[in-house]
Every structure is written in structure tokens, then in C-alpha cells.
């Protein structure tokens, strides 16, 4: 516990106060600092570090990114791409956008409950195939999994399709690579056409509200556009392939 008895008139938070406000431990704050995810505090009298609103907002963003399943390495890359002079409000906007575009959270489920929801018994090979296409993730317990419920129905249907396990893995790799590329281009477009005008507007509250609304409405539109474009492109490619000698 750091002594801040004579620091009450200084702005900001001690490490204990920052951790309490962010809902994390002091150890977590210091760990993020050693990884470069969190800027060092300002050192005041008696060598007590003081953290500001930007530290608190950055902590909230880091925790949100972790909740969405990002690794620390991925979070580091994400934060490195952000402008270094972002205000606490800027960081709060990033967090809001990350949360609004995130898929439904995965749930923990037992194998028995998984089979009940799948409507069939699942062999070990079935479980491997479901994991290969991202429906399941293993945990430390062989009878407990992390499930993406939005993909379960499709995954169960694919179990009866005569496709080799390696082919499924290769297909998933291709899809993820192209999905990531499309996401990067969309993020660039969003930054140039929405984010930059927001910053240039002097952080107008009305513009912030409009941007959040736009983000929420863009999500289903972008997802539907990607699905439709993929369906049409795949149909065209298959027709072309099977017309060839």
C-alpha cells in the first residue's frame, strides 16, 4: 500500500486508487506497465506515482479487449496503432466501439449439455471437428468446453459433410485471413471517414453520439454485405470451376 497521506491535493490517483477504480489488482496495473501497455505514472513528492484519467481509460480499454478474447500480444499491437496523444475520452470511444462490434461472449458448457443442445451424441472426432471450425475451445477439463453458441447449429450440420479434418482447417485458415484483411480495410475506412472528423470537430458531444449510433447501425449492414458478397463470389467461382474441362 503506497503512502499518499500528503498527496491529497495532487491530481490523479495512486496505484491503489487506480486499481480500485478500474476493478483490477495493483499487481495487474504494474504488470501492464512492465509490458508497455500502460504509461508510467507521474512521480510526485515522496516518490509516489500519480495516474491520470488517461491511465484509467486505457486500463478499461485493455480489459475490454481481453474480454473479447485478445491475447496480450494482440492487445500490444492494437495499442501501438493508436495515436500517442489520445485523451481519456478518445480511449473511451475506442472501448465503446470495441464492445459494440464484439460478438456474443462464449459460454462454458459441459459435454453432456453440449450433446443435449446439439441433439446428438458427439464422438471425440466430432469434438475435434467442432473445435477446428471455431465452435468450441478446450479448457483444462476434458469434459468442459467454451462454446460459441451462434455457430453450434452450423457446426453440427457440418459434422455429416464428408470433408476431411485437414480440409476444414485449411478452409478456416483461408477464411480467417481474408476476413482479417477485410476488417483492416473497413477499420481504415472508418478511421478516415468517421474517427478523424470526430477528432477534428473538437470532440463535439453530438458528433460522439452520432458516431456511436453509426457504429451500431454499421455492424449488421457490414456483416450482411460480407455474407452476401461471399455467397455470390463462391457461387460464381464454383460455376466457373465445374464448367472447366
The pLDDT tens digits of the residues spanning 136-180 come to 888 888 899 988 876 787 788 778 877 776 777 787 778 777 777
All three cell numbers of 2: 503506497
At 121, phi and psi to the nearest 5?
Answer: -75, 145
pTM to 2 decimal places: 0.47
Q: Is the predicted pLDDT of residue 192 greater than 70, yes or no?
A: yes
Q: Which residue(s) pair with 231 in the sheet?
A: none
Q: Is the predicted pLDDT of residue 117 greater than 60, yes or no?
A: yes
Q: Is the predicted pLDDT of residue 29 greater than 90, yes or no?
A: yes
Mean pLDDT confidence for 102-119: 81
Mean pLDDT confidence for 224-229: 64
Where residue 223 falls among pLDDT bands split at 50, 70, 90?
low
Helices 53-67 and 88-101: crossing angle in degrees, nearest 10, is: 10
In contact, 56 and 21? CB cutoff 8 Å: yes
| Predicted local distance difference test score (pLDDT) of residue 163 | 72
Dihedral sign for Cα atoms in the order 15, 20, 26, 29: negative
* HEC readout, the chain: CCCCCCCCCCCCECHHHHHHHHCCCHHHHHHHHHCCCCCCCEECHHHCEEECHHHHHHHHHHHHHHHCCCCHHHHHHHHHCCCCCCCHHHHHHHHHHHHHHCCCCCEEEEHHHHHHHHCCCCCHHHHHHHHHCCCEEECCCCCEEEECHHHHHHHHHHCCCCCCHHHHHHHHHHHHHHHHHHHHHHHHHHHHHHHHHHHHCCCCHHHHHHHHHHHHHHHHHHHHHHHHHHHHHHHHHHHHHHHCC
Amino acid at each position: 500500500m503506497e503512502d499518499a497521506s500528503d498527496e491529497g491535493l495532487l491530481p490523479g490517483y495512486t496505484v491503489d486508487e487506480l486499481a480500485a477504480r478500474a476493478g483490477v489488482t495493483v499487481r495487474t496495473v504494474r504488470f501492464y506497465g512492465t509490458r508497455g501497455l500502460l504509461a508510467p505514472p507521474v512521480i510526485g513528492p515522496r516518490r509516489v506515482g500519480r495516474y491520470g484519467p488517461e491511465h484509467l481509460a486505457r486500463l478499461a480499454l485493455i480489459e475490454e479487449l481481453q474480454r473479447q478474447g485478445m491475447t496480450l500480444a494482440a492487445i500490444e499491437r492494437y495499442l501501438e496503432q493508436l495515436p500517442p496523444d489520445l485523451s481519456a475520452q478518445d480511449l473511451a470511444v475506442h472501448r465503446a466501439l470495441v464492445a459494440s462490434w464484439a460478438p456474443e461472449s462464449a459460454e462454458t458448457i459441459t459435454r453432456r449439455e453440449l450433446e443435449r443442445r446439439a441433439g446428438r451424441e458427439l464422438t471425440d472426432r466430432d469434438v475435434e471437428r467442432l473445435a477446428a471450425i471455431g465452435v468450441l475451445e478446450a479448457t483444462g477439463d476434458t469434459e468442459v468446453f467454451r462454446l460459441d453458441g451462434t455457430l453450434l447449429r452450423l457446426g453440427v450440420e457440418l459434422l455429416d459433410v464428408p470433408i476431411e479434418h485437414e480440409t476444414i482447417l485449411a478452409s478456416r485458415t483461408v477464411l480467417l485471413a481474408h476476413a482479417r484483411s477485410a476488417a483492416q480495410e473497413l477499420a481504415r475506412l472508418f478511421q478516415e471517414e468517421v474517427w478523424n472528423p470526430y477528432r477534428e470537430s473538437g470532440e463535439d458531444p453530438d458528433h460522439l453520439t452520432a458516431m456511436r449510433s453509426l457504429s451500431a447501425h454499421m455492424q449488421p449492414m457490414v456483416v450482411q454485405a460480407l455474407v452476401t458478397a461471399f455467397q455470390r463470389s463462391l457461387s460464381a467461382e464454383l460455376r466457373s470451376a465445374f464448367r472447366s474441362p
